[in-house]
Amino acid sequence: MERSEMEIELYCTQCLDHTLHQITYINDKISKIECEECHNLLQVRLDIKKEFLKESYHKAMAKPQQIRKEYKKDRSDFLIRFPFRAITKPYRLVKYFNQSWKVMKAYRTNDPNYQENSNNQ
């Protein structure tokens, strides 16, 4: 997760003028916009958990490309190491993400099946 800030001139409905506004981003999404003159604040509700999962997912998905790069770079060495990585890593990741999604979905929707499912594992 990354938080960044940016200053930009925007029209403020309180000041009725163009003023400097501070925009705060979480990853690439705007989380708030604040007028630096009157401190009028516009807050955007973000699903932080969803952002975090999305980020983790993209990080995990970047791995196969690294493997492909390695494959091009050194074919023989790659073939020796490939089966181990291909089998264990994606499996663990898929399991982790499926489980995380289940937990978060149940948390949000208050799914009555959630308790049942977690006891079966």
Nearest approach, Cβ of residue 8 and Zn ion (Å): 13
Q: How far is the CB of 88 from Zn ion (least distance, A)?
A: 55
**Which residue carries 């029209």 as its tokens?**
11
User: How far is Cα 18 from Cα 59, in angstroms, rounded to an integer?
Assistant: 39
Q: Write the Ramachandran bin of 40: left for phi over 0, alpha for psi from -120 to 50, otherwise beta.
A: beta
The secondary element (H helix, E strand) that includes residue 17 is strand 17-26
Long-range CB contacts (< 8 A, 24+ apart) of 36-44? 36/7, 37/12, 38/12, 38/14, 40/12, 40/13, 40/14, 40/15
Residue 38 within binding range of Zn ion, rule CB under 5 A: yes
Stretch that binds Zn ion, among 4-12, 54-62, 73-81, 91-99 (CB under 5 A): 4-12
Q: Is 37 in the site for Zn ion (CB under 5 A)?
A: yes
Contact status: 33 vs Zn ion (CB under 5 A): no
Does 12 interact with Zn ion (rule: CB under 5 A)?
A: yes
Q: Which span (24-32, 38-46, 57-65, 106-114) binds Zn ion, by CB under 5 A?
A: 38-46
**Min dist. Cβ of residue 23 to Zn ion (A):** 14
Question: Contact residues for Zn ion (CB under 5 A)?
Answer: 12, 14-15, 35, 37-38, 40
